Amino acid sequence: MPIPTVLRHKVRYFCDGAVLGTSEFVNEVFKRERSRFGPNRRSGSRKMRGTDWGDLRVLRDLLVDVIDC
């Protein structure tokens, strides 16, 4: 499916992903909110699963029911 179609059908990343944007943007938010994450977490940006999302990244890695269109 094309990215615009997938995004219209699947809004979970907008709700559960916490932060959605480019790697640079997500990592910037992660650095600002570093105290909210455990000491073993080294970076904020996580690839989105389910299709080729280009440079879109999320702060939380969603492992279950990524796309259910």
pTM of the model: 0.66
Domain parsing of the chain, residue ranges: 3-58
Asked whether the predicted pLDDT for residue 29 surpasses 60, the reply is yes
Q: What pLDDT does 69 receive? A: 44
Report the sign of the C-alpha dihedral through residues 27, 69, 66, 36, in that order.
Answer: positive
Task: Please write the tens of the pLDDT for every residue from 38-63.
Answer: 899 888 888 877 777 888 888 877 66
Q: Which of 54, 28, 56 is nearest to 43 (CA)?
A: 28
